[in-house]
């Protein structure tokens, strides 16, 4: 039987193969390093499927059966996992280590030159200030309201000339949400802006 894995946006065929089941087709796609970003896998039975290191960014996995699926290292940013069954979120991102920290925790905040966030703006992240706002706690949603902070590598990847990277400080009680499959970004409801990262030292300028 021929299986075609298509983009959920334009129907483009991302991977096709003659094989017995969709589960085996998906495993073959992953094994062959197929780019499954935006793949429509809604409702698919992927129980026990090896999805390790798969690129599933923005994929549609609503109602998919992911029981015992190997998601280690899979790229799930912006993936729609609503009602997906059996997913073990703790193997989708190493960020859950933050929930076991005690005392003050530090992460990074990307800002524009005027100290506002790069995507929505309106909030100033000035050195020495404490920012506190309501944050979305829905871990299915990758990007939403709240204070988005991240790992340093995430900030470096998203950095543009004129942007700043700030060090921010918070506690685990301030962590509102670590999105499932996060690529390094999470939300807090409160943080103190400590200082700017030296962009020369980290090789950005």
Is a pLDDT exceeding 80 seen at residue 72?
A: no
127 band by pLDDT with thresholds 50, 70 and 90: very high
Query: 128 pairs with which residues across the strands?
Result: none
What's the pLDDT tens digit per position in 80-97? 888 888 888 888 899 999
3-state DSSP of 41-78: CCCCECCCCECCCCECCCCECCCCECCCCECCCCECCC
Residue range(s) of every CATH 2.160.20 domain in the chain: 1-92
Out of 2.60.120, 2.30.29, 2.40.128, 2.160.20, the CATH code matching 1-92 is 2.160.20
Helices (H) and strands (E) in the chain, counts: 2, 9
In the chain, the DSSP E strands lie at 2-6, 13-18, 105-111, 130-132, 147-150, 164-170, 175-177, 185-188, 190-196
CA–CA separation, 114 and 123 (whole Å): 10
**pLDDT value, residue 193:** 98
Within 47-165, where are the H helices? 152-158
Q: For residue 108, what pLDDT band results from cuts at 50, 70 and 90? A: very high
Global pTM reads 0.82
């Amino acid at each position: 039987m021929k299986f075609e894995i298509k983009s959920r946006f334009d129907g483009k065929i991302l991977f096709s193969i003659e094989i017995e089941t969709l589960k085996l087709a998906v495993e073959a796609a992953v094994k062959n390093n197929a780019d499954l970003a935006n793949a429509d896998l809604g409702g698919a039975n992927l129980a026990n499927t090896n999805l390790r290191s798969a690129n599933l960014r923005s994929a549609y996995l609503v109602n998919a059966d992911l029981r015992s699926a190997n998601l280690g290292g899979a790229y799930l940013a912006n993936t729609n996992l609503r009602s997906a069954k059996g997913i073990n979120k703790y193997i989708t991102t190493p960020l859950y280590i933050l929930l076991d920290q005690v005392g003050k925790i530090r992460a990074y905040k990307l800002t524009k030159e005027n100290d506002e966030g790069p995507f929505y703006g309106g909030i100033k992240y000035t050195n020495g200030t404490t920012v506190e706002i309501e944050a979305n706690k829905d871990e299915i949603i990758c990007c939403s309201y709240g204070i988005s902070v991240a790992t340093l590598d995430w900030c470096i990847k998203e950095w543009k000339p004129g942007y700043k990277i700030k060090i921010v400080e918070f506690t685990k009680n301030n962590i509102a949400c670590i999105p499932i499959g996060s690529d390094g970004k999470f939300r807090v409801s409160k943080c103190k802006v400590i200082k700017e990262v030296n962009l020369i030292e980290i090789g950005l300028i």
